[in-house]
Amino acid sequence: MAQLQPGDAAARVLEQFKGSLPLTVAELLHLFELLALPGVGLLEYAGLSATSLEAEVDMQCFCDFLFDQHLGHEFRAVSVWHLTHALLPAVEAAGHLATARVYEIEPTVIRPKGYKVRCLRDGRMGSAYVDGIFGPCHAGPASFMLSYTWGYQVGDIAETLNDFCEKHELKPQEAYVWICCLCINQHRVHEASSRGDVVPFEQFERAFGERVSGIGHVIAMMSPWDDPLYISRVWRRDVYSHLCGQEPGHRGDAAQRGHGPASGAHARPRYWCGLEHLVQA
């Protein structure tokens, strides 16, 4: 018999629950007790509260959690499919439009996603957004790193990355992009900010370089077309140096969404292979 892939195994287990009464948190804890499993701990890492014992468990989400092979991965990232089919609906449910900026949805959508999730990285309550979503359609090891600014519109980010996948014949549910607002634990950032802690630029530069080197492929998003906010970032030259001046095999692509003078009102993004043009800006 062929070995089941994690997604197939989750689906097989989920199938066994169909047709039966929904499980409550109390019943799931009882099942864990029978199996000698650390029930409360598992629930917290899956984002379920052990204090709401009568609450029904979303078995699809819980099965995805159980069979997620990349929980706690150093470069765990969100899929492009998730951005369109989960993040954008959550943005709208929170009362925002797709034109909302990243900094506008951070306190209402991004940070709350991990509020009830125990972080696998430090064991404390409150996780990064990416550690609160489960299953191969939603998260996995990063293939790309997005370089952008928090002033970009959420809808533009999702559309640009979907078009990038289309251009490069990638499946959005298998294209995982490391995006700082979703992959860094914003609870810890907020705590540090509340204490008045300041991260030295050298520490930021080192952490940034490690991610560029570890992931190996940066997508630099250019928006708006005529005066990209990205170009104004001082550390754009660090992107270039890490990708073009270090290890072979690293790559950078620039994606531009918007319409230029000759492009018309419904222009698609334009792409460049390489980031050499950035250092000339």
Beta-carbon-side half-sphere exposure of residue 202 (alpha carbons within 13 Å): 0
Strand order in 251-256's β-sheet? 139-141, 76-79, 176-178, 144-147, 217-222, 251-256, 270-273
Distance CA 238, CA 82 (A): 29
Q: Any idea how long the chain is?
A: 281
Say which residue the tokens 């001082």 belong to.
234
Interstrand relation of 144-147 and 139-141 (parallel, antiparallel or unpaired): unpaired
The whole-number average pLDDT for the span 246-271 is: 48
Segment 111-158, tens digit of pLDDT: 999 998 989 889 899 999 999 999 999 999 999 999 888 999 999 999
Does 244 have pLDDT greater than 60?
no
Exposure string (b/e) for 50-88, b if CB count within 10 Å is 16 or more? Answer: beeeeeebebebbbbbbbbebeebebbbbbbbbbbebbb
Statement: residue 253 has pLDDT above 70 = no
Q: What is the pTM of this model?
A: 0.76
Question: When comparing pLDDT for 269 and 191, which is higher?
Answer: 191
Average pLDDT, the chain: 77
What pLDDT score was predicted for residue 21? 57
- What pLDDT is stored for residue 197 in this prediction? 86
In this model, does residue 278 exceed pLDDT 60? no
What percentage of the chain reaches a pLDDT higher than 90?
40
Measure the CA–CA gap between 87 and 73, rounded to whole angstroms. Answer: 21
Return the sign of the alpha-carbon dihedral for residues 52, 58, 64, 67. positive
- Residue 196 scores a pLDDT above 80: yes
In angstroms, rounded to a whole number, what is the distance separating the alpha carbons of residues 162 and 80?
A: 6
Q: Any idea what DSSP says for residue 129?
A: G
What pLDDT digit, counting tens, does each position of 164-182 carry? 999 999 999 999 999 999 9
Where is mean pLDDT largest: 4-18, 49-63, 141-155?
A: 141-155
Least confident of 92-106, 190-204, 220-234: 220-234
Which pLDDT does position 179 carry in this prediction? 96
Segments in 46-100 forming alpha helices (H) = 59-66, 80-82, 88-93
pLDDT band at 202 (very low <50, low <70, confident <90, very high): confident
Q: Give the CA radius of gyration of the chain.
A: 20
pLDDT at 250: 56
- State mean pLDDT over 53-59: 75
Percent of the chain with pLDDT over 70: 65
DSSP-based helix, strand, coil % in the chain, nearest 5: 45, 15, 40
Query: Which residue shows structure tokens 């008045």?
Result: 196
